[in-house]
Structure 1
Amino acid sequence: MAGRRWRRASPAGRRAPPVLQAWKSPAGGWPVTPHRRTLLASTLALGAAALAAPRPLRAQPAWPDRPVRFVVPFPAGSTPDILARALTPHYGSVFGQPFVVENRAGAGGNIGTDAVAKATDGHTIGLTINGPLATAPALYAHLPYDPVKDLAPISLLARSGQVLVVRPGIPAQDVAGFIAYARERPGRLTYGSVGAGSGGHLAMEDLKARAGIALEHAPYRGFPQAVLDLVAGRIDAMILTVAGILPQVREGQVRALAVTAEARLPQLPEVPTLQEAGLPGAVSYAWNALVAPASMPPGVIARLARETRAALETPEARQATGTAGFEIVASGPEELAAFVAAETARWGGMIERLGIRAD
């Protein structure tokens, strides 16, 4: 072989990987012996295997590598805020970084939820409720975010049945009695809520449609003033979360007629469901969910979902949900997405049918 020089053949001038090139000798050729043929085949096979083998993945940076902003679109002391702060100790322990609650209240939760949707720092998550995820698209003509495109679902957290209550001066002792009383006074009874499209407003509109009664809506800026007016007899009825009215029910200041959950609530075991009261399908809940910007990596979403389920099992979370009258209903991202889609279809259809607007 002395004196022979080697060159690589490359089709159309393009250099291919050396081990896959057809090696040639200068004019005159190189005798191909069985030994050389075996050596060449082995070399080609090893080269092909090396190229086919998966390259080691570049190590991904740990998440989180700095504090996480945990946006709650309601004021400090609200039910979503209490639940978020009950989850943060577990998150901080397992992720090794603090989860800092940031209250961004306003527009029924839309302002804070929009802040989550538009976050680009890779370290923002949010706890939100029915409205911003399921009913806002139908209520607002110019919602600044798209719940489906701009947010990544992580986990459903907790839900609470609501309570139909009436002022003490209403003689009805049950739902049938209330319906009969309202039918005798079409359009003369009023009910309160915390605004158009709120959970209590939509649940009462659903009740009205099923029972065939006419009630006038009186929107308020918040629960406290609405409850005060109900107790004082300035409005006739409300549907609201059990935590928002339980003290007044127990003190006899208002009368609870039914709950909107599928089963009776442990806080009010003597109060029947609307379904038991003769209105099948009249089921609704107030609920909370954990979301992130749509750009959050799927691996981070999956881990957050797992750790959220674990966080909801802690004594802090169980006490927070129990005190607020909520039950834990942890889920995965896919289940939350399906649930929100179903809620959007149900309540969005009603909102459009009734022409309800919030802007």
Structure 2
Amino acid sequence: MSITRRSLLAAPALLLAGPVAAQPAWPDRPLRFIVPFPPGSTPDTTGRAIAAHFTRALGQPCVVENRAGAGGNIGTGLVAAATDGHVVGLTINGPLSTAKALYPDLSYDPARDLAVASLLVRGAQVLVVHPDVPARDLAGFVAHVRANAGKLSFGSVGSGSGGHLAMADLMARAGLEMVHVPYRGFPQAVLDLVAGRIETMILASAAILPQLREGRARALAVTAERRIPQAPDIPTLAESGFPGAESYAWNALIAPASMPADRVARLAEEAAKALAEPPTRAALEAGGFEVVASGPAEATRFVAAETARWSGLIARLGIRAEA
């Protein structure tokens, strides 16, 4: 039999085999969407908006599971350990960019065990002081802290948290000495700030804007690259003499590293559509967040840069996770 005839006879068999070899539909059962923070938190609100869109767009229920604890490390670790191809998650700075430097016994390696599908949103932080602090700008604040070395205190929501690291970075750049007072959450820290029990802190803009408008705290700078629309009168750190000190609170969409790249890209694409919906976008912007909705490659580069920057600071300053 000639090669040509054999090829012709084989062709129908190849055509029949084609559908068998095709990739199965995905998802083919409900997706678990793990949010490692409590209901009502910003990651939870963002995650639920995305999960609702996934349910509509992917044809399977996407069920949010709140698995809070250890600053987000528990829930993030569950995503990293998942193997069935139907688990995704949403997490923040710490579990992706600083947890490995702060927790030597972390159950997962963010760079090895997780795929970053999208940088979803980012929000500026604000350097604020109690009204009794005699500083109207960052230069005045630096001078006041230097004149009272070791006497002023700053708050955060824990050692190694975003606000703590941002303040530690600024202190290192400016040669400042203050006492760190860690809290379990923003509400108590803000209460102590407006009561004058601590003098200053860096925190997410949404957590302090009401107090700023009421005059119970004073803002000296925002940590973003540009002034924020929610408070356009507050200068940036760069404008105030500290270029390169920018920092953000951010949320990222993640999946296990074993998830195929085309599925990770699809998640990013659908998440961008969810965040573009006017009610969702408006709610996030009102809360002080900027919608980014990047693709996987950009998000992965961003997280790698954040990891290098903040892990280096943690090592250089000897910061430890315990409060």
TM-score where L is the length of structure 1: 0.85
Pairwise CA distance, 1:195:
0.6
Which residues in structure 2 correspond to 1:1-359 (within 5 Å)?
40=2, 42-43=4-5, 46=8, 56=18, 58-359=21-322
> Partners in 2 of 1:44 and 1:229 — Cα distance?
84
The 8 Å contact of residues 83 and 320 in structure 1, kept in 2 or not, is answered as: no
Q: Tell me which amino acid in the other structure corresponds to 1:106.
A: G
Cα displacement string for residues 95-119 of structure 1 (whole angstroms, at most 9, x for unaligned residues): 1122111111111110110111112
Name whichever of 99-108 and 183-192 sits farther off: 99-108
The 8 Å contact of residues 86 and 320 in structure 1, kept in 2 or not, is answered as: no
Pairwise CA distance, 1:62:
1.7
Cα displacement string for residues 57-101 of structure 1 (whole angstroms, at most 9, x for unaligned residues): 623322222221111111111111111112222211111122111
> Partners in 2 of 1:133 and 1:262 — Cα distance?
22
Pairwise CA distance, 1:303:
1.2
The 8 Å contact of residues 119 and 253 in structure 2, kept in 1 or not, is answered as: yes
> Partners in 1 of 2:10 and 2:50 — Cα distance?
51
The 8 Å contact of residues 69 and 100 in structure 1, kept in 2 or not, is answered as: yes
Higher normalized helix content (fraction of residues) = 2
The structure whose Rg is larger is: 1
Structure scoring higher RCO (CA < 8 A, sep ≥ 6) equals 2
Q: Tell me which amino acid in the other structure corresponds to 1:101.
A: V
Pairwise CA distance, 1:48:
8.9
Pairwise CA distance, 1:300:
1.5
1:226 counterpart SS class:
helix
1:290 counterpart SS class:
strand
Pairwise CA distance, 1:164:
0.2
Unaligned runs of 5+ in 1: 1-18, 20-39
> Partners in 2 of 1:289 and 1:313 — Cα distance?
16
Q: CA RMSD in A?
A: 1.9
Pairwise CA distance, 1:283:
0.6
Change (3 A) 1:98 1:53: closer
Pairwise CA distance, 1:295:
1.9
Pairwise CA distance, 1:53:
9.4
> Partners in 2 of 1:319 and 1:96 — Cα distance?
26
Aligned length: 321
1:122 counterpart SS class:
coil
TM-score where L is the length of structure 2: 0.94
1:149 counterpart SS class:
helix
Q: Percent identity between the aligned chains?
A: 64
Pairwise CA distance, 1:260:
0.3
